Structure 1
Amino acid sequence: RGRAQDAMPRVAAAISRLVGASLDGALRLARALNPAAHAYPFSVVAMGKTGGEELNYISDVDVVYVCYGPEEEAVAATTPLATTIRKVVSGPVGSEPPLWPLDANLRPEGRDGPLVRTLDSHLAYYKRWAKTWEFQALLKSRPVAGDIPLGERYVAGTQPLVWSAVERENFVEDAQAMRRRVEEHVGASERDRQLKLGRGGLRDVEFTVQLLQLVHGRTDEALRHRTTLTALDALARGGYVGRDHAAELTECYQFLRTLEHRIQFERMRRSHTVPRRPEELRRLSRLLGVEDVEREWTRTRRRVRELHEEIFYRPLLPLTARLSADETSLKPDAAIARLKAIGYRDPAGAMRHLESLTDGLSRRAAIQRQLLPVMIGWFAAGPDPDAGLLEFRKLSDAMGSTHWYLKLLRDSGLAAESLALILSSSAYCANALGRLPESVQWLADPRDLAARSPQDLRSELASVLSRHEDHEGRVTALRYLRRRELTRAALADVLAQVEPERCVAMTDAADIAVGGALQIAADEACARRGSEAAPAHFAAIAMGRMGGREMNYSSDADLLFVYEAAEGAGEQEALEYATEVAGALRAALTEPGPEPALHVDVDLRPEGRNGPIVRSLGSYAEYYGRWSEPWEWQALLRARPVAGDPGLIARFVALIDPVRYRDGGLEATELTALRRIKARVESERVPRGVAPHRHLKLGRGGLTDVEFTAQFLQLRYAGEHPELRVTGTLEALAGAADAGVLAEEDAADLTAAWRLASRTRDAVMLVTDRPTRSDELPKPGRDLAVVSRVLGYPAGRSLEFEEDWLRAVRRARRVVESVFFA
């Protein structure tokens, strides 16, 4: 099989040369029979497989006839030459059969056009009237008989038109539509047996190669080849096709052409249909040196189709085609002019980035030269193209020659365009991608950006921890999982205009980290004691935004720790163990290391900073029963167990439910105490110099306003309305409306303000990557413009976003004052 396939190109070229010699001999005979034509130069130009030197044993021979001289006289004198050639080559001559069928239908106007045209007539037609497919056909034009210099002038005159044809409107789309039409014309009875025109057949390979040649060949002359396999090799060397894909296509094409030859051997007749009869398939298997030709044909056909659809419909192709040759080649003057026109603040600086990325003869630089003409437009479609291009350069430099990176961007328009938008929008994402470059692969498939379920994360964590025995390795692994999921959430947020529901995914990642840290701390504490049995049951309870599953990109983990002595263990031993575990858990999440820390805040525990870090269940019961204050009941509304002993967790929840979901609600003094706390927050905690209406968290109508109001309603009514017994703010507002204790219009206003505040807070963090700035609405300028774009506002509409924010918080504050402060 291998020898047959390797010989196929040489055999096809030999047959093509034989055709050329036959045509030249037929023309000599024609001139002898038509002496009036001697005064006019005449050339036979091969097209199709003859021009590409890819003929089968039984093929049509595509030709175009060119003459030179005054139009009417030259055409009239040389047309008999063309008709005589056809008779000599294609008609019967005595007992000898025809050599090859001649087909002149690729000439201008096809069958309706004159058989012979002058050179000037040909060029005039192609300049004014030719369709997309005709330029594709001209790729393979080659003079083979007659006046060769005239034929070469024909080729030289048409080639500039061929290599600029891509600039015609909808060129790529027309080429793709033509391929689909060819498929549709294959009869239903032979659709799955058609070797040439059907799905996964020869035309899939040829159309793929020719389209890439036409799109990229206008600026890269190394791609200008007539023969399919030679052109495919050039495309691979230039980085336009992956080397592995090119090798596969080459092998598949050689197999298909060899199979085509063997099918035609049987009766020496033209056929492109793979037979169905078992005896014919057995014969083909022997001729090809394969065990089962049907299986090989099916496998080859399937793989060719996969590669054709991946490459031929590559999203970058039509976008590249719409650029001028200068824009595609990134010539400095044209590139700087374009950069300035499409919105780059520093075109000269951007040009330096482009030169750095595309300089040299490496494969990496070659692929960048394909990507960047399109990607600089995608960067410009984002809010900060200069930053996007800079971050792309940094990421590309960091990736080096990683084999999949540039291939992914070249072959997946979705990944490349998404990456451009992300890098031009988000400093947080740019830094996250730099630390986790493999996450670029997620951009090719939206499913990879979907949040992982808690169950999947727990399973992965268990697997990861089982593979590490040392403390540092286990801690690094669990913190890596959290960082990875935050990166996934951030990329998805930028592409989806920041969805507040993403906070659930961020919280799930923190839950997994706390659970993993607890397992590590408990395992090591038991190991130090030389016992597998722990002297105490232990649990971690999430509070605050973590408890409400409302964490953002810079949230701390608010936690309570509770323990209970195990059966047979002493109270002091249990306390020492629990204290050790709590300290080790906090250290695992916060100690310096290669992965980002998750700060643990335990200030919501009983007695705040003055109280012990960990308490027994009995101690909690005594404290909440005797000394707790209204703000602590309020804090417990968000209490949510995240890790630890299930039995202890159930007993702790049973303990705190009567405290937070109070029968009879709140007394007047307790309501007053909560209002005083809220007033103090407003007067003391808003940073100096920040306008109250611009602070997303503590300002009037901001997050704290909405959350205090929701929790106020829970404290008053959750004892009698179970729908209020939830830890999340939006769920509490919905429950209050369902219970009839909050007007639906008021609930809608509070919900809208909370969602916009949460989205804006996350957007500020994504844009700036500065936690200290994420609580403040940016002032008019660059940051506000970028934040508004990340939130989905069109360019130039940042003031509209600011007005929407002010309107939302004004409405929310009205509700707060009528419900909370009434």
Structure 2
Amino acid sequence: MMAPGRRSSTFTRLLRHGFTDPSASERLLDGPELSPVRDDPFLLEALGATADPDLALLGLVRLLEAQPGPTARRELLDTLIAAKPLRDRLLGVLGASAALADHLARHPRDWEALVTYEPRDLHPGVEEFERGLAEAADPVLLRVAYRRCLLSIAARDVCGTTDVAEAAAELADLATATLRAALRLARAAAPGDAALCRLAVVAMGKCGGHELNYVSDVDVIFVGEAVDGADEDKALRAAAKLASHMMRICSETTVEGSIWPVDANLRPEGRNGPLVRSLSSHIAYYQRWAKTWEFQALLKARPVAGDLELGAEYVAAVEPLVWKAAERENFVVDVQRMRRRVVENIPAAEIDRELKLAPGGLRDVEFAVQLLQLVHGRADGSLRSGTTLDALQALAAGGYVGRADATQLDAAYRFLRSMEHRIQLYRLRRTHLVPESEADLRRLGRSLGLRADPVAELGREWKRHAAVVRRLHEKLFYRPLLDAVAQLAPGETRLSAKAARERLVALGYADPAAAMRHLEALASGVSRKAAIQRTLLPVLLGWFADSADPDAGLLNFRKVSDALGKTPWYLRLLRDEGAAAENLARVLSAGRLAPDLLMRAPEAVALLGDGESGRLEPRARGPLEQEILAAVRRAEGAVQAVTAARGVRRRELFRTAAVDIVGSYGTEGQPAEADQGALVDLVGGAVSDLTAATLAGTLHAVVREGWGDTLPTSFAVIGMGRFGGHELGYGSDADVLFVHEPRDGVDEREATDAANKVVSEMRRLLQIPSADPPLLIDADLRPEGKSGPLVRTLKSYEAYYRRWSLVWEAQALLRAEPVAGDEELGRRFIALADPLRYPASGLSEEAVREIRRLKARMESERLPRGADPKLHTKLGPGGLSDVEWTVQLLQMRHGASTEGLRTTRTREALAAARAAALMTEEDAATLDEAWVLATRVRNAVMLVRGRAGDTFPSDPRELVAVGRYLGYGPGRVGDMLDDYRRTARLARGVVDELFYGG
């Protein structure tokens, strides 16, 4: 047993050299395997320089134990002590990779592979690796030879003989050599198949880009051709057999493990397409069917194995198609959407550890670089490298990316790739997750040269580089556009005007010249305002590009900025409040209505900030009405009072439209997860409350102007139709009834004259031409319709309904609800209406037939000529009218006995009918979905066109904008129309059963 003093001394030395379990390591040093070199100072120093000294020491002992005898063990120890380069390489690998330590324990003479590589400029390529694999006569031996080659790559990597880019290139070259060896074995196993065909293996992804990971799928595409005289079908079948066998050789697990999966899913039609196609079949597919992402993937295509001449023909044939990809409609949006889809699929529990796919990860760099390559590589061949860092350097050299940005991004990418390499190297497992245990983080940090406090330093460096990537991801694409117009830093290489226009076209701007002018006006100069704009615009341009009309978004932003440019809070709001800038971008590019409202009062931009509640939401009816009444009281006359009320209405309409747009677009361009029915209810309720508050203010202004404080008669406004149902759209008229009742001692004629004057004045004031959205009062649902008096006393209504009321008038009363004026009179009117709209005896069959007849007549008379009934949201089959009349028929039949049906709101009544078992849950859901969708379409049309409409717009850009609001991305207008038809068709089936009785 060793003396305590000596043990204490060794223990201390081990701690000083970075060992975390010095007791266990001390026992290993005292073992028989290391007894000859136990006191060698160079060994302990070399172990202490590794990523994990404990792991390195354990691996070394295992390797010595595995040697075939004392002579071999002594040879290894002597070489290790005498040759520092070998010592550093071998221990470096053992301290970084438990998997390669396992390999060396199984193949104890493979350490000799580390002796030969010493000079920095000696980097093996494909030919050297092919020689290393040449003697592998079967898949098992191929795996052994592959790991032996991998050992030498890892040694150069962990010792710093190669940098991360060189190591990735070597890994790609080793993969190339391995594919060739596997194909050689497959051909040898089936010489008949090999004689029939030419087979080219084209590498894609990281292998094609010469930037492979330690453990990664190797993406490939296979191209086959018949040899002279062979039948093409037979040749392609033979090629498919060879390709399949080659994939199995690489992918299958043996006693020596597997190499890596060969993935051919990037081929045309993915896993559903044939494994091998002819060159002409490939080209036909790409010319006709390929999606944007497929051209993006082809950017890295490189022939690596098999018939290299055929592979070169393939690359030459697809290359022109790749560089035309940016001309495709919605190119940038397609690429960015694919990136977002990747992020959405990351499990929530892993996103904070995801090194590759999370925001600020490796994929952000790769996507941004590829996007710029595809946009500008059409005209500049220097940008066509498949290697990310080479392409980034070329983009900077050509002025397409700022040099400082490129330098920062290069450093961040190298650091993140180094992390990824070292994480995978430990177990040789495919992963992009940063480990969680302190031991793993310590080893990872030390492997990257972080020694003072490896865990803390690693966390800081990772977050710093990820933040750089997040910040530059958008800036990389949009900032050079600003530099091209801002005319700052004349010594810098700037994006040419032509290149800037190309980039804007790729972003979806139809008028790049106008966009350049707007950018110049916003971002030029050295003022503080221009500097803030240059900070904001890169992100705003991305949000505009995500919309259906980027040109409109940028133009509207310039208009708002021009109007508020001297207002100190405007740019500060956009810069400092997280939601404000994105909300503004969404609103300005979503259509005409919201920007038109904003341009009339640009200060309403302030509503888009985080606010006191932290979210954008409509105001409640009470505070809204109080504000309008206060404004009316401050005004000098009725005209000024109603102008003030309409101004509040304009601002609040803008707020509601903004809530609607932001709620539909969601965050960063993604459709919101919120219930779309809830959003419809929120908008309908907000617009209805706003209309009611405006009418209340107008009524107060008219009464004050004509009669002072007291009108000779009590007066109430009853909301009808969508107004009474809290379902108004942005362009809806306000359906109302007017009721009055003379005050005590007032002659009825005098009271009626006063009430008529109030109605006439209210309508006149609200119809005075102005820039504010019109608010039209429609009283056509009154008794006797247009031929009846505009206003009646409560007794007159009672007499009319008792004697003359028709079934349609009782049906119209289902939506009646007081909205302004005398509350008690309003309640009494509702008490009068209830027996009519919810008859105690239900409806007679004659009344039911009359309702059905009226509905059929309305549809035949009111449906516009030439309109497609299946797409008419109001009168078409399965549209609003179908659902509402079905619900109203149930209300009139069962409302007297079913309290839940006694509501003016369609969706509430529908839910009550389902709860009362008057319809099945499935039928209720079908009708509800159809009603919500039709309402959303109408709201979308108004938001996009700035005027109301009951059918989808015919203008293609407007149609795309409606689709964008409804959650349908570019190229999915057909899906939107098909979905609407399907939803409406299903609803019509329910209506036929419930309304028409089957």
Q: Provide the aligned C-alpha RMSD in A.
A: 3.1
Aligned residue-pair number? 531
Equivalent pair of 1:315/1:413 in contact (CA under 8 Å): no
- Tell me the SS of whatever aligns to 1:733: helix
Once the 2 structures are TM-superposed, how far is the Cα of residue 476 of structure 1 from its aligned partner? 1.1
Are 1:352 and 2:517 an aligned pair? yes
Whole-angstrom distance in 1 between the partners of 2:934 and 2:164: 61
Q: Distance in 1 between matches of 2:404 and 2:505?
A: 31
Instruction: Report the secondary structure of 1:500's partner residue.
Output: helix
Tell me: CA distance 1:657–1:324, structure 2 relative to 1, closer, same or farther (3 Å): closer
Match for 1:482: what amino acid?
R
Closer/same/farther in 2, CA of residues 407 and 523 from structure 1, 3 Å limit: same
1:316, 1:410 within 8 Å by CA — same for their partners in 2?
no
Q: Does the C-alpha gap of structure 1 residues 394 and 814 become closer, same or farther in structure 2, counting only changes over 3 Å? A: same
Residue identity matched to 2:774: A
CA contact (8 A) 1:422 1:429 kept: yes
CA distance in 2, matches of 1:760, 1:556: 17
Aligned to 2:585: 420
Q: Which fold has the larger relative contact order, with Cα–Cα distance below 8 Å and residues 6 or more apart in sequence? A: 1
Q: Deviations over 1:38-94 (max 9, x none)?
A: xxxxxxxxxxxxxxxxxxxxxxxxxxxxxxxxxxxxxxxxxxxxxxxxxxxxxxxxx
2:644 corresponds to which of 477, 480, 488: 477
Q: Deviations over 1:236-282 (max 9, x none)?
A: xxxxxxxxxxxxxxxxxxxxxxxxxxxxxxxxxxxxxxxxxxxxxxx
- For residues 588 and 517 of structure 1, the distance between their equivalents in structure 2, rounded to whole angstroms, comes to 8
Q: Identify the residue that residue 500 of structure 1 maps to in structure 2.
A: 680
Matches within 5 A, 1:582-731: 582-593=759-770, 595-731=772-908
User: Structure 1 780/354 Cα, relative in aligned 2: closer, same or farther at 3 Å?
Assistant: closer
Give the corresponding residue for 1:516.
697
> In structure 2, how many angstroms separate the alpha carbons of the residues matched to 1:504 and 1:713?
23
Q: Taking structure 1 as the reference length, what is the TM-score of the superposition?
A: 0.61
CA deviation string 1:321-353 (max 9, x = no partner): 545874552342442232133332333332232
- 2:601 is equivalent to residue 436 of structure 1: yes
Contact 2:541 2:554 in 1 (8 A): yes
Gaps of 5+ in 1: 1-123, 133-159, 175-206, 216-311
2:628 aligned partner: 461
Which position in structure 2 is the counterpart of 1:796? Answer: 971
Q: 1:717 to 1:491 in 2, by over 3 A?
A: same
Contact 2:717 2:739 in 1 (8 A): yes
Relative distance call for 1:595 and 1:315 in structure 2 (3 A) is: farther
CA shift for structure 1 position 449: 2.3
Within a 5 Å distance, the mapping from 1:138-153 to structure 2 comes to none
Letter in 1 for 2:532: I
1:560 to 2:741 alignment: no
Q: Which piece of structure 1 moves more, 648-657 or 313-322?
A: 313-322
Matching of residues 164-179 of structure 1 within 5 Å: 165-168=407-410
**Residue aligned with 2:831, SS:** helix
Superposition pairs of residues 224-303 of structure 1, within 5 angstroms: none
Q: Is the 8 A contact 2:638 2:702 kept in 1?
A: no
Answer yes or no: is 1:338 the counterpart of 2:503: yes
Q: 1:770 aligns with which of 947, 952, 960?
A: 947
Q: CA deviation at 1:522?
A: 1.9
Would you say the 8 A contact 1:541–1:560 is kept in 2? yes
| 2:783 counterpart SS class | coil
Conservation of the 8 A alpha-carbon contact between 2:703 and 2:710:
no
Cα contact 1:590–1:600 (8 A) shared by 2: no
Once the two structures are superposed, residues 289-348 of structure 1 have per-residue CA deviations (whole angstroms, 9 ceiling, x without a partner) of xxxxxxxxxxxxxxxxxxxxxxx9999955565458745523424422321333323333
CA distance in 2, matches of 1:162, 1:521: 65
Q: How far does residue 641 in structure 1 lie from its aligned partner after superposition?
A: 0.3
Q: Is the 8 A contact 1:316 1:413 kept in 2?
A: no
Determine the C-alpha separation between the residues in 1 that align with 2:625 and 2:947. Answer: 30
- Secondary structure of 2:978 counterpart: helix
Aligned partner of 1:481: which letter? V
Taking the TM superposition and a 5 Å limit, the aligned residue runs for 1:272-421 are 317-319=471-473, 322-323=476-477, 326-327=480-481, 329-330=483-484, 331=495, 332-421=497-586
1:750–1:165 CA distance, 2 compared to 1 (3 A): same
Contact 1:319–1:374 (CA under 8 A) maintained in structure 2: no
Residue identity in the other structure for 2:546: A
Unaligned runs of 5+ in 2: 1-161, 168-359, 361-401, 417-459, 485-494, 665-675
Could you say what secondary structure the match of 1:715 adopts?
Answer: helix
**In 2, distance between residues paired with 1:734 and 1:169?**
59
The AA in structure 1 aligned to 2:687 is: M
Shift of 1:780: 8.0
Change (3 A) 1:677 1:361: same
| Farther off after superposition, 342-351 or 494-503 | 342-351
Using the size of structure 2 for normalisation, the TM-score is: 0.50
Equivalent residue for 2:962, pick from 754, 762, 787: 787
TM-aligned CA distance change 1:571 to 1:739, over 3 Å:
same
Using the TM superposition, give the Cα deviation of residue 392 of structure 1 relative to its aligned residue in structure 2, in angstroms: 1.7
Aligned to 1:806: 981
Contact 1:387 1:424 in 2 (8 A): yes
Look up the SS of the partner of 1:425 in the other structure: coil
Q: Distance in 2 between matches of 1:492 and 1:738?
A: 31
Q: Distance in 2 between matches of 1:640 and 1:616?
A: 17
CA distance in structure 1 between the partners assigned to 2:771 and 2:505 by the alignment: 41
Percent identity (aligned): 45
After superposition, residues 62-101 of structure 1 pair within 5 angstroms as: none
Residues in 2 aligned to 1:650 and 1:517: alpha-carbon distance in whole angstroms: 21
For 1:525, the equivalent position in structure 2 comes to: 706
**TM-aligned CA distance change 1:650 to 1:408, over 3 Å:** closer
- Matched with 2:757 is 580
Change beyond 3 A, Cα 1:629–1:404: same
Structure 1 residues 316, 506: CA separation in 2 closer, same or farther (over 3 Å shift)?
Answer: farther
Deviation track 1:142-185 (CA, whole Å, cap 9, x = no partner) reads xxxxxxxxxxxxxxxxxx997764334659x99xxxxxxxxxxx
Per-residue deviation, residues 678-728 of structure 1 (Å, max 9, x unmatched): 111111111001010111111111111111111111111111111110001
- Give the deviation of 1:404 after TM superposition: 2.1
